[in-house]
Amino acid sequence: MSPQLVLSVVFGYFLILILISFLTSKKADSSTFFTANRQSPWYLVAFGMIGASLSGVTFISVPGWVGTTQFSYMQMVFGYLAGYAVIGLILMPLYYRLNLISIYQYLEQRFGFWSYKTGAAYFLLSRVIGASFRLFLVAGVLQLTLFDAWNVSFEITVAITIMLIWLYTFRGGINTIVWTDSLQTLFMLSAVGAVIISISNDLNFTFGEMVTAVQESQYSKTFFWDWQLGSHFVKQFLSGAFIAIVMTGLDQDMMQKNLTCKNIGEAQKNMFWFSVILVFANLLFLCLGALLYIYSNANGIEIPAKTDDLFPMLATQHFSTFIGIVFLLGIIAAAYSSADSALTSLTTSFCIDFLNFSDEQSLSVQDTQKRTRLFVHLGFSVLLFVVILIFKNLNNEAVISSVFKAAGYTYGPLLGIYAFGLFTKLQVRDYLVPVICVASPILSYLLNIYSAQLLWGYQFGFEILLINGLLTFVGLLLITKKVAHV
């Protein structure tokens, strides 16, 4: 693909997003930005959440991951179903009953000021890391397909990428995101389908032959039972369940979309259909990964050392121009569908949780508060830019693995403190909660490093999240206080 063609595709795509932003941000106030006035159709939220959950990480890394881990990722996906059930049946009714804007307001009501701020701070840290990884990925693709040809630096590529997100989210906020995410989910899934069809045609496969080729390939093994490995089924299933709980149910980014539905009934329908469709969407990505390797082997194409590069390399250098365009639309849609909502949720959490935009006066359309919100939105854009540049110099492994590893440490305290709040009636010494929530990830990290020596060769996978959450829970038990009874 020529740089001019790539530029035309990117320009046209963002014109559509900016048009949607214009239409959805008319008469927008802070309530529209934060909650979409709680008028979003549940089916639109469900479809858009698919793109936000999959993201550019899934689009690039999961297909490449197949070469080394086969279909073992499906073990986590099955765990997601259990996690989403917990969200729909336990967490979402709580959030709607308390009429929350930021889900971390629950922690203040349950424990106190320091618990509330600690939970919100961990979300900010977790989401900045996750969004930065995802934008790092799409910026790399744009660099490869467009900006390298014009000798534009990676730093400029990242700046342009983030600026485009800011342009179509700064006015409408979550109300715009609900609509743009749905469009971007459509682009992403259509792109995967088109690439699968193209590969099948190139290899002269019928649909049945394609399914058989994937099933009989070395890449299709799904279930693993060696307890010492991180890919063991029970480890992966439990990790998937708890990752779903923390990265969706305890994450302001994902739950902010759910809280825009009209009522709890519609929000639960959204969660049910979203979780079912997500299973099939992930299976589609894994099948795509197997086909990419089968295609490469059949055509004598050397597999890149970094598996994240396989799909972009084939799409831009070996497939047709049409598929190259489809891939570009897919990766942009995948990355932006998660990054745009991340920027909005970071702004929401900071304004609600740290600047106290929580009363009716703060949510009204006042010039001072609107300016503050815009500055916060811009500030997080700059922060993402800086973190992405740090990742460029540090990251040397599959992006999806890095995201989940980071999540295991930053979401663990959230898992522990919410579990303690929901399943006990105990009170804690609130001022000590930050200490517990800092100590638990550090202990988890040390345990993970020395697990083989301490636990007879056992190696932690993503289940380190559970250990982190458990340590937080036990730490909270140690700082409980007696409540005087009248």
404: pLDDT strictly greater than 60: no
Q: Which pLDDT band holds residue 174 (cuts at 50, 70, 90)?
A: confident
pLDDT, average across residues 405-423: 85
Give the model's pLDDT for residue 363. Answer: 46
pLDDT, average across residues 279-294: 91
| Paired tokens of 135 | 């934008």
The CA distance from 33 to 358, in Å, is 13
Question: What's at 472, amino acid-wise?
Answer: T
The CA distance from 385 to 161, in Å, is 9
Give the model's pLDDT for residue 114. Answer: 96
pLDDT in tens, 200-226: 999 999 989 999 999 998 888 988 887
pLDDT, average across residues 249-256: 86
**What residues contact residue 44 under an 8 Å CB cut-off, 6+ apart?**
178, 179, 182
480-481/427-428 β-pairing = antiparallel
The CA distance from 44 to 61, in Å, is 26
Write down the residue that tokens 């663990």 correspond to.
412
Give the model's pLDDT for residue 483. Answer: 59
pLDDT in tens, 28-85: 666 667 766 777 888 888 888 887 777 666 777 788 888 888 888 899 999 999 999 9
**Which of the given ranges, 115-124, 216-225, 362-371, has the highest pLDDT on average?**
115-124
**What residues contact residue 386 under an 8 Å CB cut-off, 6+ apart?**
none
pLDDT, average across residues 458-483: 84
Alpha carbon 156 to its chain centroid, in Å, reads 24
The CA distance from 207 to 458, in Å, is 41
Give the model's pLDDT for residue 365. Answer: 46
| Paired tokens of 461 | 């996978």
DSSP one-letter string for 150-183: GT--HHHHHHHHHHHHHHHHTTTTHHHHHHHHHH
249: pLDDT strictly greater than 50: yes
The CA distance from 339 to 132, in Å, is 8
Q: What are phi and psi of 427, to 5 degrees?
A: -105, 150
The CA distance from 297 to 281, in Å, is 25
Contact 440, 210 (CB under 8 A): no
For the stretch 249-259, what's the b/e string if a residue is b when 16 or more beta carbons lie within 10 angstroms of its beta carbon?
A: bbbbbbbbbbb
pLDDT in tens, 5-44: 777 877 888 888 888 888 877 766 666 677 667 778 888 8
Give the model's pLDDT for residue 400. Answer: 47
DSSP 40: B
Question: What's at 395, amino acid-wise?
Answer: N
Give the model's pLDDT for residue 169. Answer: 77
Locate all alpha helices (DSSP H) within 87-172, ordered by sequence: 92-97, 105-110, 113-142, 154-169
Give the model's pLDDT for residue 398. Answer: 52
Give the model's pLDDT for residue 408. Answer: 63
Torsion of CA 153, 155, 158, 159, to 10 degrees: -110
Give the model's pLDDT for residue 323. Answer: 84
DSSP 87: I
402: pLDDT strictly greater than 60: no
301: pLDDT strictly greater than 60: yes
